[in-house]
C-alpha cells in the first residue's frame, strides 16, 4: 500500500472535515461497544482545557485525528484516535500516535495511558499500540474494569 503524504497540525476543531471525522469516530465507538463502555470525548470534551487535538491532512483532506488529555501530575491519556476510511492502512495512525508520544515527551510527562475496547474491530489499534511499546495494565484515572475496556500504558 502506498503511504499518504501527511501534514500534522494542532487542530482548533472548527474545520467541517474534522467535525465530520469526530462524528464518525463517536458513531463507530457506540456501534462497536456495549452500552456504558464508550469513553470517547465528544466535541465539548475535546475543547476542554488540558486537551490538545491533532489532525493529519493529505491534499486538503483530513486523514486522521488524535488527542492528548492531561491527567494528574506527569500523566497523559491518548484520546480520539481515528483514521478516515479513505486513508486506512496508509500510516496515518502511526503518524498521529508518533506526534502524541513526541508531544508527551516534550511536555515531560512520565506516563502515557489509553483506554480502548475489545473485539476484532479494535485489533488494528491494539497492534499499533503494542508496536509503539504500550503494555496492557490496570485501569487508570477514573476508569474501572467493565469487561470490555482494555488499558495500556507507555512509560516515557
What is residue 2's predicted lDDT score, i.e. its pLDDT?
A: 55
What is residue 3's predicted lDDT score, i.e. its pLDDT?
A: 64
What average pLDDT does the chain have?
Answer: 94
Q: Judging by DSSP bridges, how do beta strands 61-70 and 51-58 pair with one another?
A: antiparallel
What is residue 108's predicted lDDT score, i.e. its pLDDT?
A: 97
Quick: pLDDT tens for 7-65: 999 999 999 999 999 999 998 888 888 888 889 889 999 999 999 999 999 999 999 99
As a whole number, mean pLDDT of residues 80-89 equals: 95
What is residue 119's predicted lDDT score, i.e. its pLDDT?
A: 87
User: How many angstroms separate the CA atoms of 144 and 8, rounded?
Assistant: 33
Residues 65 and 11 sit within 8 Å (Cβ to Cβ) = yes
User: How many angstroms separate the CA atoms of 52 and 13, rounded?
Assistant: 10
Residues 112 and 100 sit within 8 Å (Cβ to Cβ) = yes
- Which three cell numbers mark 102? 513526541
| DSSP structural state of residue 1 | -
Quick: pLDDT tens for 91-140: 999 999 999 999 999 999 999 999 999 988 889 999 999 999 999 999 99
Amino acid at each position: 500500500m502506498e503511504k499518504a503524504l501527511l501534514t500534522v497540525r494542532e487542530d482548533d476543531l472548527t474545520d467541517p472535515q474534522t467535525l465530520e471525522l469526530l462524528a464518525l469516530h463517536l458513531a463507530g465507538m457506540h456501534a462497536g461497544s456495549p452500552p456504558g463502555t464508550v469513553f470517547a470525548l465528544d466535541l465539548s470534551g475535546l475543547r476542554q482545557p488540558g486537551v490538545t487535538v491533532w489532525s493529519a491532512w493529505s491534499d486538503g483532506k483530513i486523514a486522521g485525528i488524535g488527542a492528548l488529555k492531561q491527567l494528574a501530575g506527569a500523566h497523559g491519556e491518548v484520546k480520539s484516535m481515528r483514521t478516515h476510511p479513505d486513508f486506512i492502512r496508509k500510516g496515518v495512525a502511526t503518524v498521529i500516535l508518533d506526534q502524541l508520544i513526541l508531544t508527551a515527551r516534550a511536555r515531560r510527562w512520565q506516563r502515557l495511558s489509553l483506554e480502548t475496547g475489545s473485539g476484532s474491530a479494535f485489533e488494528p489499534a491494539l497492534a499499533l499500540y503494542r508496536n509503539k511499546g504500550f503494555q496492557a495494565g490496570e485501569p487508570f484515572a477514573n476508569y474501572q474494569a467493565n469487561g470490555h475496556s482494555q488499558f495500556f500504558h507507555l512509560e516515557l
